Amino acid sequence: MVSISVEASLIADQWVLSAAHCFPFTVDYEVQLGVYQLMNPTSNAVTYPVQRIISHPDYQGHEGSSGDLALIQLPSPVNFTDYILPVCLPDSSTEFLPGANCWVTGWGNKGVNVPLENPKTLQELRVPLIDRDTCNDLFNKHPDEELGLNPIKPDMLCGGYIEGGKDACQGDSGGPLVCQNNGVWTLAGVVSWGEECAKPNYAGIYTSVPYYADWIQAKMNRGLLNAPTVTLLLMSLAFVLL
């Protein structure tokens, strides 16, 4: 049996948002909500099967592709508790400005090939946003042949520390980047890709949620009731904010 763990955010009572690249295989997945320590589950945690996964049609299946976003529909509504709550979604006009202090959370590696130790407690990191031109300039100093020049597209957010040392890392893919918007913690981005992690003169790249806000809302409103069912193991972030 294939065991795959990815991260995501609960955004509505029947919907979870993650990254499209997290779902390259057709395997059995489930969503775990209310988890804080992966190796020390409590009675606050619940598990749901997955009804279907909807990847954005622009996603091309490779690192650096636009559209790295996936909606996961649950077969029935989630019962919200003090430990299981949805994160707020922005609308398409919401702007998260460079320099804004946002937060990324996850259970991924603490460094390249350095796994999070047991009991695998949810980690958090403050991440300042970097404007797209500056971020592209950083990546263009050592261009990747596959990514080419200016790999940071309009549907991406860039965040991190130019001096390196702190970043999302392998295993955080699909997880949330949240920022305060008018005093409300709001889902700004989804962990997408980067050059390893925490390397100097690079940054982490996130799929912009405002950029795809209309697509997200349209898919949730429509429900796709007649679409074929795909059951997928999703270690989903039970979003209890910082």
Which residues are identified as catalytic? 21, 68, 173
Rounded Cα distance, 220 and 223, in Å: 5
**CB contact at 8 A, 131 and 188:** no
Rounded Cα distance, 6 and 115, in Å: 14
Tokens standing for 92?
A: 């398409």
Rounded Cα distance, 29 and 44, in Å: 20
Question: HSE (CB half, 13 Å, CA atoms) of 155?
Answer: 19
**CB contact at 8 A, 95 and 171:** no
Rounded Cα distance, 9 and 16, in Å: 5
Is residue 67 left, alpha or beta, with left meaning phi > 0 and alpha meaning psi from -120 to 50?
left
Torsion of CA 194, 209, 156, 29, to 10 degrees: 40
